[in-house]
Amino acid sequence: MKRKFINVTKKYIEDLAPTDFCVELIQPAWETVNIYGTYEEYEETLKPYTIEQRYLLAMHWLGAEVANGGFQQFLSNSTAIVWEDVYKGYQAMKKILSLFDGSMIRFIIVGVINTVIGTVIMFGMYNLLGINYWISTASNYILVSILSYYLNKHFTFKNKEKSLLQVVKFALNIAFCYLLAYGIAKPVTVLILSGQEEKIQTNIAMLVGMVFFTGFNYLGQRFFAFKSDSID
């Protein structure tokens, strides 16, 4: 059987009726996966499908059986064969949803504070003092990072670790995210705005770099600098 992949785009989702989404994704598996034989037969009939389809199918079986007769019915019928995939499916969903917990909201609040201060420093140095792109942007992040460290450590990620290593990791993260974000922003902006004067290109590049830096920095601080097993 040919492996069935579905290109799930924004338009694809918008065009689906509310009840069509899961049906489109798991219908082929629903019709062919054998849950009534041995576990080996179940595994064999799952081979043509993606891991996402596998988990969705299992969770769909759980929902159908629980709605029909409760968890006891799910576990006592042949559908119990999918229980491990149900568990793994919900674990996968938990990992995705954990990216959008309270730490992201707090990070945005800290980001707004840092952005206001950093914008004044960066654009002021470039436009009023005539200092070049790299020095203006670097000065912004060196000064603002001190404030960012304390706010994100104690407020955003509520990290209680006290060590020089963590400070080093934070500094490395800031340096890496800065070089990556602004290293991408400048050439991309110059390419897109090739007909504009240099000052306009540089100011736009600074704005683009701020956007890139915010995304890179959140991931770096959460999963590297302030990595923790328990984030509220």
Q: d(Cα 82, Cα 58) in Å, to the nearest integer?
A: 5
Each domain of the chain, given as residue ranges in start order, spans 10-98, 101-225
**What are 46's two structure tokens?**
């799952």
* 73 Cα distance to chain centroid: 36
Residue 230: pLDDT band (50, 70, 90) is very low
**CA angle (225 as vertex; 223, 228 as ends), nearest 5:** 55
The mean pLDDT of 151-155, rounded to a whole number, is: 86
pLDDT in tens, 166-210: 889 999 999 999 999 999 999 999 999 998 999 999 999 999 999
What does pTM read for this prediction? Answer: 0.52
Per-residue pLDDT reduced to its tens digit, 95-152: 777 666 677 788 888 888 988 999 999 999 999 999 999 999 999 888 888 888 888 8
Residue 9: pLDDT above 80? no
Distance, in Å, from the CA atom of 12 to the CA atom of 8, rounded to the nearest integer, reads 6
- Residue 12 pLDDT class (50, 70, 90 cuts): low
